[in-house]
Structure 1
Amino acid sequence: MDVRGQIDGYIDDQPPAKREELRDLHRRILALSPDAHLWFLDGRNADGKIVSNPNIGYGAQTLAYADGDTREFYKLGLSANTSGLSVYVMGLKDKAYLSQTYGARLGKAKVTGYCISFRSVRDVDLGVLEEVIADALSLKQVGAGNPIFL
């Protein structure tokens, strides 16, 4: 199955209310970046063990690790979980950036170094969330001299 099929299957497998919110966010992200590279991670490691919630990924960047290894990964992730939905902004060097830049304007969301979690889209300001998404998927590249990104 191709990535779009995996994404559609993942969204379709969610409970009805969460399915509609996940589908709406997926459409909003694609509207902001229609040519973004799509990813689907099923949450399993190389041994087939579940290690995380499945994630839909958008965009592409090269992440560099302290040991010198690099790997391609998405810029923005979207995931359903038991308590609601999460949006992940990958490649941030400044772990306070999301909280300081968007936290006070997002609404009822938990903001960590790279994750924004919320129970329902009704709890967040979708305009501000779209700002986060546009920022994450912008042309800012890892290592491009931008102090916010790695």
Structure 2
Amino acid sequence: MGVREQIDRYTDDQPPAKREELRELHRRILAISPDAKLWFLDGRNEAGKVVSNPSIGYGTATLSYADGGSKMFYKIGLSANSSGLSVYVMGLEDKTFLSGTYGSRLGKAKITGYCIRFRSTKDVDLHVFEEVVTDALS
């Protein structure tokens, strides 16, 4: 099964309200960067154990590890979770960048070093969301 089909299956498996919000954010990200590489991670590690929520990824980033290793990964991630939705911005060196740059304008969201969590798209300013995506993928 291809990545697009995996993404469709993942969104289809969500409860109706969350499904529509995931689809809307997916459309917005693709409108901003239609040629971004698409990823789908099912949340399982190499041993098949569930270690995270499944996520849709966009773009490419090189993640560097403290031991000197690195790997290719997505730049923006989108995931449903038990309390809403999460958007991940990978590869940020400054863990205060998201909150300092977008926090006061984003709306009702919890922002950590590389994650923006919110209950519903109704809680956030989608124009600021698009700014986050544009900045990350450019």
> TM tier, shorter chain?
over 0.9
Deviates more, 1:64-73 or 1:9-18: 64-73
CA distance in 1, matches of 2:69, 2:112: 25
SS in 2 for 1:17: helix
Match of 1:56 in 2: 56
Match of 1:147 in 2: none
1:28 partner letter: R
Size of the aligned set, in residue pairs, is: 138
SS in 2 for 1:132: helix
CA distance in 2, matches of 1:114, 1:61: 13
Give the deviation of 1:96 after TM superposition.
0.1
What is the TM-score of this pair, normalised by structure 1? 0.91
5 Å-filtered alignment, 1:19-58, equals 19-58=19-58
Give the deviation of 1:66 after TM superposition.
1.4
1:50 partner letter: V
Match of 1:89 in 2: 89
Match of 1:143 in 2: none
Percent identity of equivalent pairs: 76
Structure 2: which 5+ residue stretches go unaligned?
Answer: none
Runs of 4+ in 1 over 6 A off after TM superposition: none
SS in 2 for 1:92: coil
C-alpha RMSD over aligned residues: 0.5
Structure 2 residue 124 is the aligned partner of structure 1 residue 124:
yes
What is the TM-score of this pair, normalised by structure 2? 0.99
SS in 2 for 1:87: strand
Give the deviation of 1:62 after TM superposition.
1.4
Give the deviation of 1:68 after TM superposition.
1.2
1:108 partner letter: K
